[in-house]
Structure 1
């Protein structure tokens, strides 16, 4: 049995915390300073975490390696299992050109570029975030806006800023699933609190977007459609994450936001020519004028309808219980860890939800998609393998980061840092979203930031008397605002619209919005930690 120590280095909490932060510092410096590729930075940080656990904390080497192996296993299943299957569905729509039909369908909803920005970047971007995540929404939405006639810089900025509110529930809930796993908190509890924070961003972001597209005139003339879109998006995200399914939160929000937007008569009016001339400074793609049969348009929307249907059926009590019975639980080999106060840690047990997991449900929806779109089984299998190849570095990065997180959590490194950080007291509520924001800004992933800092936030919360669920959720909610300034996302946006090498220009345009919205989130979390907004929490 390995008993975690909080002060293994010279009996000092400060020195122990300094040593414990070395793996995190190495990852952040390699990513943000040296610009090493994410998978190499993750592997280097993992080696550092193993060394600190073994040599600094005295964790037996076999238990250290076993804890890392469990983290890597969780990174592959269910985390990347969700991402691979979700991206596979998207690739099949591209292969059959139904994605192009979907894009043309959006282009015909309105000729007002301000409304088009909301439909494409905010609503459809959220749908892509729900389905794929990992930079796909920024790349695809930027290209779609350029095809509609947007200037490339404006298209990239709008897509980056729009990719905020849905991130915490992206890739079928992967960030919150990871957060729940590394913190040991129930998924429903974590998702519920996140669902009472990020919807508040959704109320603001559509208004910011129309301002970015057309300045004060855009706000003055299209504030009502933007507000209707934001309110519907926020309400659906809140309802799904709190009362239905965290995995469906973004899909429900995207569909509700788009529906509310188009329902406002003002959104369907033709735009004044001076507006179009001022905003659409690029060349509009002639492909958008192609006519598509209604049957093909319905098939283009079918994959998303199938995902909603499969997840909805999975939430029925009888089906949910049947799926849960397939879940396997194992004693993880070579791992026997107790905390400093003598409690057995959750890492000793490994739970394998064979069927009752988002990735398997998306796989079932993907099989249905292949049937509806007429994709031959051989071609569908080829696309699945191509998806794995496309994500090979992401697979390595996520498994390395999750392995690092598990080593730090099970060896006691995260607990040491958490106890040290708890000295911030009430100020911790303000700093908690900043930590998540910094983690995503550097790593480009809310999932990675939750894996790295989730357990630390919970430990600090318990030591300072704050709600663990609140600070864990704040890590994810603050993190979504770092996505638009992450080097990874900036590079993706520039590459998508032909602005390679101009990442600095985009950063200067989106940084004020990232910092300003982060401040808003910090104030929300501070309010929720006091009676002022404490009533918002479940």
Structure 2
């Protein structure tokens, strides 16, 4: 691989760092420029055929459409709930549990996200939790960062265990025996027990340091016991479920059990300081609409409960709804006579469920048709920068992934990069393995796809180095979850739903440090195990 070919392989990452993080361009400008640069370099230096690049772009647009459907559904539901007063009612309800913003961040930003990740995945948790936090009075940037950081540890078992059940099985079709899947599941939960448990504390540290009036870590240290309670309230039940039931339900059950425990402690003020921590000029909600005053708290939460139940019901094959919704499918096979294909199942996407629940809520609360139309228009206008960004960002990623078809006799760009890392860091591979997983999520927007892309590679590296394959695969999974924090696609979607398009670089800069910390903690834990 020549220097220019190495630069080409790095360009999807370098372009994001340069345009979004360093130059601080909005994603709607940075990603189209990045896509053009990557496509030109892939054609000239990687010698990818034009037809392969074009097919990758078309596949990217199909995938971008899926993401846009999810984001549209999330924004539309929020707009409907705002119009009906349900969001205001939820906010008042949270004040009744505990008015401390640190506590609210852990309940919504950590445990609610964990539960939603277990039920749906695919970027839905951050798309729902971030606007909810904003509606509760959190600064939009804080809401996005908190939601993205939280949506990391639960990802390993997200969407009813998809990263393991689908990612590992398809990535290792020969080696993924039931016994190996069980080992990977248990290893992932065990490593996360000492890694994921600290995520709530990391979230609160960022919250008080960058968004508090005093810009200090001290308020975070004051709630350290409560933060550890929030962390272990998820990871311990998840560990038990992973060791007894398998990979499908650790995040769902962990999130539910954690919510029950933490809400109980928060309501009674247990493990919490007496001083309530708030934002400067914290807004006050005035419920001056008679309809809103009469709305019980359970009714305000009903849409989110319905979304969660429907997502679970449509993800379990035994109930029959999954097959029914997946029956409606648009297939784009062998695009431009290449091996690249794409498919779209519009009714199976979480966005469809979000949209249906929003309409049902509008009917239930007797929202005037004029306000429903207004919410629809507002949602569409909000999505415009996101459409531009995703139509460039996702094709860029697909070019990167499908670069195995080339005239330079090279493997795909991510594989070539990973092989260079093996040659450089062989003895320290447990420290590197999580960041291979993070790389896959960073560029693909999916932990499941990251596992599928690198599972065989990680397995073979572990085999060659004489390391435990299940442990290395667990690091791949945990790293893929951590990569969700800075994944361009997720960041763009989250910024869109809170009206913060153009600030994607700021989000990535803030989330990068927790991502690195979690990756190193997971790798160090496995290194120490192997040394003992």
The CA distance in 2 between the partners of 1:481 and 1:54, in whole Å, is 30
Query: Shift in Å at residue 333 of structure 1?
Result: 2.7
Once the 2 structures are TM-superposed, how far is the Cα of residue 175 of structure 1 from its aligned partner?
Answer: 13
Residue 50, structure 1, aligned to residue 35, structure 2: no
What's 2:458 paired with?
461
1:186–1:439 distance in 2 versus 1, CA, 3 Å:
closer
Mapping 1:1-400, distance limit 5 Å: 12=1, 16-77=5-66, 79-110=67-98, 115-123=103-111, 137=129, 141=133, 144=136, 160=145, 163-167=148-152, 185=171, 196=189, 201-207=195-201, 223=225, 225-234=226-235, 254-264=255-265, 267-268=268-269, 275-276=275-276, 279-280=277-278, 282=280, 285-287=283-285, 295-314=295-314, 315-319=316-320, 320-337=322-339, 347=340, 349-376=341-368, 379-400=371-392
What is the distance in 2 between the residues matched to 1:76 and 1:158? Answer: 25
1:162–1:209 Cα contact (<8 Å) kept: no
Q: Could you tell which deviates more after superposition, 468-477 or 24-33?
A: 468-477
| SS at 1:310 equivalent | helix
Aligned pair in 2 of structure 1 residues 450, 205: CA closer, same or farther (>3 Å)?
A: closer
**Would you say the 8 A contact 1:169–1:250 is kept in 2?**
yes
- Structure 1 residue 101 displacement after superposition: 0.3
Instruction: State the 1:48 CA deviation.
Output: 2.4
Q: How many residues align?
A: 484
Asked if the contact 2:162–2:448 (Cα under 8 Å) also holds between the matched residues in 1, the reply is no
Q: Give the deviation of 1:300 after TM superposition.
A: 0.7
CA change 1:164–1:237 in 2 (3 A) is farther
Shift in alpha-carbon separation, 1:47–1:354, aligned structure 2, 3 A: same
Q: Any idea what the Cα deviations from partners look like across 1:490-533, whole Å, max 9, x if unmatched?
A: 999x999xxx9xx89x989x8876654443233346579x698x
Distance 1:407 1:269 in 2: 52
Q: Which has the higher contact order (CA 8 A, sep 6+)?
A: 2
Q: Distance in 2 between matches of 1:174 and 1:25?
A: 33
Unaligned runs of 5+ in 2: 209-215, 405-411, 464-468
Corresponding position of 2:408: none
CA distance in 1, matches of 2:265, 2:310: 30
Tell me: CA distance 1:524–1:289, structure 2 relative to 1, closer, same or farther (3 Å): farther
How far is the alpha carbon of 1:203 from its aligned partner? 1.8
CA shift digits 1:57-111 (9 cap, x unpaired): 333322321221112211212x222222122212211121210100100110135
Q: Greater CA deviation, 263-272 or 50-59? A: 263-272
Assess if the C-alpha contact under 8 Å between 1:133 and 1:167 holds in 2: no
SS at match of 1:164: helix
Q: Deviations over 1:179-199 (max 9, x none)?
A: 979996499989969974667
Summarize the Cα distance change of 1:121–1:358 in structure 2 as closer, same or farther, 3 Å threshold. closer
1-side partners of 2:145 and 2:397: how far apart?
A: 28
State the Cα RMSD in Å.
5.3
Contact 1:306 1:369 in 2 (8 A): no
Alignment correspondent of 1:6:
none
Change in Cα spacing, 1:470 to 1:16, as seen in structure 2 (3 Å) is farther
Contact kept in structure 1, 2:437 and 2:454, CA below 8 Å: no
CA contact (8 A) 1:437 1:475 kept: yes
By how many angstroms is 1:317 displaced? 1.5
Structure 2 equivalent of residue 341 of structure 1: none
- What is the CA-CA distance between 1:285 and the residue it aligns to? 4.7
Q: Per the alignment, in what secondary structure is the counterpart of residue 336 of structure 2?
A: coil
Unaligned runs of 5+ in 1: 1-11, 147-151, 338-346, 533-538
Q: What CA distance in whole angstroms lies between the structure 2 residues aligned with 1:487 and 1:321?
A: 31
Secondary structure of 2:342's counterpart equals strand
CA distances 1:318-369 after superposition (whole Å, capped 9, x unpaired): 41333344345442331434xxxxxxxxx3x323324333333333333333
User: Using the alignment, how far apart are the partners of 1:156 and 1:74 within structure 2?
Assistant: 26
- Return closer, same or farther for 1:421/1:55 CA change in 2, 3 Å cut-off: same
| Structure 2 CA distance for partners of 1:491 and 1:105, relative to 1, 3 Å | same
Q: How many Å apart are 1:469 and its aligned residue? A: 5.0
Aligned-partner Cα distance in 1 for 2:281–2:46: 61
Q: What are the superposed Cα offsets for residues 376-409 of structure 1, whole Å, 9 maximum, x if unpaired?
A: 5564354234323212222332232221121122
Asked if structure 2 preserves the Cα contact closer than 8 Å seen for 1:126 and 1:163, the reply is: no
Aligned 8 A contact 2:188 2:478 in 1? no
